[in-house]
Structure 1
Amino acid sequence: MFIEWQNNQAATMRCSDKWQETDDAVSITLVAADASHLHFSNFKPGQFVSLGFELNGKMEYRAYSIASAPGDAHLKLTVKRVDGGLVSSHIVDHFNCGDTVAVLAPTGPFNSIDCPPKQKVTLISAGCGITPVMSMTSTWLRDKADIDIVFIHMAKSAAQTIYFDQLESMAAAHSHFHLKLLLKDNAGTRHPQGRLDKAWLNTLCPDLAERTVYLCGPTQFMQDMESHCRALGVEDGHFHQESFTPIESKQNEISSAAVQVEVPAFGVTTEVAQGSTLADVLEENGVPIIIACRSGMCGSCKCKVTKGTVSRTSTETLSEEDLANGYTLACSSQIESDVEVELV
């Protein structure tokens, strides 16, 4: 039996284990709350789930990549504390074995199924960006014995490297898994010291242009690595990177003109500046919409604009039929005129 997600409804899952990965990051495993489901196969390696907690009287959702492989008896997630992060701090400090959490269905286009590999791959990550590429790697090592894997990860030190011991074990157990860990401080390790730049990337993986590349990490890190990969000859069709970074507010595009937003089912009528992000307006007016990834990737904030117009910066989970019928993703929709909205 398997966890089944219905539409945008969250499944209730229970924390079955929790441990410290680094001084500011923990890993947790989640199982079905009723313990009747044994395996979790309905996700693609590299995808993420959104966790929902009721904090300060409000449901707060955040997206976290799955680190386990499809078919495992649990979902494994690794959460790093974010400065001022409400949900990440709650997970690190207060979410314990036996506690339950609302979990939205796995999603995300950054995965090893929709982005299929060549016979040789390179994974490039930093920080918690290691989680989705670890899921891909674990799956390949289990299911594709002949794939050649170069795993490049940038970290401050061995102590600050998420999955350090697991990575070392994988390198020892698999001749086709090549661990290339680059540390800012390599004291006590066999790994090189430095900062990942174009020269280091070429040194760690001289045949990068012959490989499919998967990239995940902090925004600036990904921008730099993408530039280096392009310069080193990686083909467009074989370069893939994680996409769920929050969409920046386009303050300079907000007009002084006022528009009206109505949500009849919740008795909401409010006047806002033209260009305001629909998700922000709905949240500020108490409409119970789920907003998880805030990057137009997970589809949790799908709603319907029944009157008026919005502009969209993402239509990732919407079909042509959805668009024709007025559906939009609130987190990536800017209000252009008076609108009327209903929840899905």
Structure 2
Amino acid sequence: MINEWQNNQPTTLRCIDKWQETSDTFSFKLASTQSDPTLTFDFKPGQFVSLGFELAGKMEYRAYSISSAPAEHYLQLTVKRVDGGLVSNHMIDHFNVGDNVSVLAPTGPFNAVDCAPKSKVALLSAGCGITPVMSMAKTWLKAQADIDITFIHMAKSSAQTIYFDELETLHSLYPNFHLRLLLKDNAGTEHPQGRLDQEWLRALCPDLSERTVYLCGPTQFMQDMEQNALALGVDPSQFHQESFTPIEAHTENSGGDAVQFEVPAFGVATQVEQGATLADVLEENGVPIIIACRSGMCGSCKCKVTKGEVSRTSTETLTEEELAQGYTLACSSQIQSDVEVSLT
């Protein structure tokens, strides 16, 4: 197994393959820069990695779910072009086979290990939300696990369905893999046409309430599908979804008062507005901290508040001991008083 990551520091991986999935998505395979082809990656299916590129003189990190299965010699990611997507668009336009990239260790609580499955599961996705659940499905199939998989995916058309050919192949090869693809335009396919709502969900998976459900997709889609799944009788303890969305700044205690902000190790001493997000303040003052997912999920921006108080909207990757010692996630912490911060 590859043990590339030491003390949660980024490692360098190399792009060994790149191809176009749909009109606005590309897939990439990343492998170790070492030459040993027997080295493989260990992670929990469903997790993500954060990639860092130096753009305009600044290291920019963004998080992408892994779509390959563990124990492969590569990590596969699929990236969608988005308006204003600094890193995503850079990867699609300029990141090619042979290029290197800085990568943080796989992480994320939405995975098939910590969220263990029943003997029957439903994987529910739309758009690029297909990537983590694809990793789960491939892992179970590869391990020949006795798990019945209903794979429900919503897309615009067959041409806009990520992994379309691979999904149909899995459906034909594995009797325990049931593809339920719903398309807004099903021209040229035998898949049904419609928009995924509660009735479609019931029709595509009549025994949904008997399954462990894993959900990933756009925010509104996930909100709707959570409501629909629970209404159809899914046990809340058997319902898991990716929480991979930026956290809104929490400012209800902010009156705009100025507070003192200090990072002694980097000579920073300045006044900031009470309620400001700690990550923003660190970046604005040139403190070299990695801020990857910006959703309080990956833990890359962990730092220590040695004096003063912050409010937190996520403590996802922190232990009780770390919280007691003053550690916090900068992307989901708001400054509430004079504070002093350390990166160690």
Q: TM-score, normalised by structure 1?
A: 0.98
Which residue in the other structure is 1:156 paired with? 156
Q: Secondary structure at the match of 1:202?
A: helix
Deviations 1:279-336 (A, max 9, x none): 0111111111100011111000000111101111111111111111111100010111
Which residue in the other structure is 1:170 paired with? 170
Deviations 1:22-43 (A, max 9, x none): 1110000000112336343420
Would the alpha carbon gap of residues 11 and 2 (structure 1) be closer, same or farther in structure 2, given more than 3 Å must change?
same
Paired AA for residue 238 in structure 1: Q
Deviations 1:243-277 (A, max 9, x none): 12111123555322111110111111121111111
Which residue in the other structure is 2:74 paired with? 74
Paired AA for residue 234 in structure 1: V
Paired AA for residue 65 in structure 1: S
Note if contact 1:149-1:178 (Cα within 8 Å) is conserved in structure 2: yes
Note if contact 1:123-1:213 (Cα within 8 Å) is conserved in structure 2: yes
Which residue in the other structure is 1:211 paired with? 211
Paired AA for residue 32 in structure 1: S
- What CA distance in whole angstroms lies between the structure 2 residues aligned with 1:277 and 1:18? 36
- What CA distance in whole angstroms lies between the structure 1 residues aligned with 2:150 and 2:41? 25
1:79-228 to 2 correspondences below 5 Å: 79-228=79-228
- What CA distance in whole angstroms lies between the structure 2 residues aligned with 1:121 and 1:287? 44
- What CA distance in whole angstroms lies between the structure 2 residues aligned with 1:329 and 1:150? 36
Which residue in the other structure is 2:330 paired with? 330
Paired AA for residue 224 in structure 2: D
1:21-36 to 2 correspondences below 5 Å: 21-36=21-36
- What CA distance in whole angstroms lies between the structure 1 residues aligned with 2:36 and 2:57? 30
Q: Secondary structure at the match of 1:300?
A: coil
Would the alpha carbon gap of residues 320 and 251 (structure 1) be closer, same or farther in structure 2, given more than 3 Å must change?
closer
Q: Secondary structure at the match of 2:131?
A: helix
Deviations 1:124-150 (A, max 9, x none): 000100000000000011113421100
- Shifted more, 38-47 versus 332-341: the winner is 38-47
1:270-281 to 2 correspondences below 5 Å: 270-281=270-281
- What CA distance in whole angstroms lies between the structure 1 residues aligned with 2:36 and 2:307? 44
Which residue in the other structure is 2:268 paired with? 268
Q: Secondary structure at the match of 2:181?
A: strand
Paired AA for residue 127 in structure 2: G
Note if contact 1:82-1:88 (Cα within 8 Å) is conserved in structure 2: yes
- What CA distance in whole angstroms lies between the structure 2 residues aligned with 1:261 and 1:273? 9
Q: Does 1:10 align with 2:10?
A: yes
Q: TM-score, normalised by structure 2?
A: 0.98
Unaligned runs of 5+ in 2: none
Note if contact 1:3-1:40 (Cα within 8 Å) is conserved in structure 2: no
CA-atom RMSD in angstroms: 1.1
Paired AA for residue 136 in structure 1: M
1:291-302 to 2 correspondences below 5 Å: 291-302=291-302
Which residue in the other structure is 2:284 paired with? 284
- What CA distance in whole angstroms lies between the structure 2 residues aligned with 1:40 and 1:259? 48
Q: Secondary structure at the match of 1:191?
A: coil
Paired AA for residue 248 in structure 2: E
- Shifted more, 37-46 versus 103-112: the winner is 37-46
Which residue in the other structure is 1:314 paired with? 314
Note if contact 1:3-1:37 (Cα within 8 Å) is conserved in structure 2: no
Would the alpha carbon gap of residues 60 and 235 (structure 1) be closer, same or farther in structure 2, given more than 3 Å must change?
same
Would the alpha carbon gap of residues 41 and 96 (structure 1) be closer, same or farther in structure 2, given more than 3 Å must change?
closer
Paired AA for residue 315 in structure 1: T
Unaligned runs of 5+ in 1: none
- What CA distance in whole angstroms lies between the structure 1 residues aligned with 2:226 and 2:16? 37
Note if contact 2:253-2:336 (Cα within 8 Å) is conserved in structure 1: no
- Shifted more, 250-259 versus 8-17: the winner is 250-259
Paired AA for residue 136 in structure 2: M
Note if contact 2:51-2:61 (Cα within 8 Å) is conserved in structure 1: yes
Note if contact 1:297-1:317 (Cα within 8 Å) is conserved in structure 2: yes
Would the alpha carbon gap of residues 38 and 11 (structure 1) be closer, same or farther in structure 2, given more than 3 Å must change?
farther
Note if contact 1:47-1:108 (Cα within 8 Å) is conserved in structure 2: yes
Which residue in the other structure is 1:243 paired with? 243
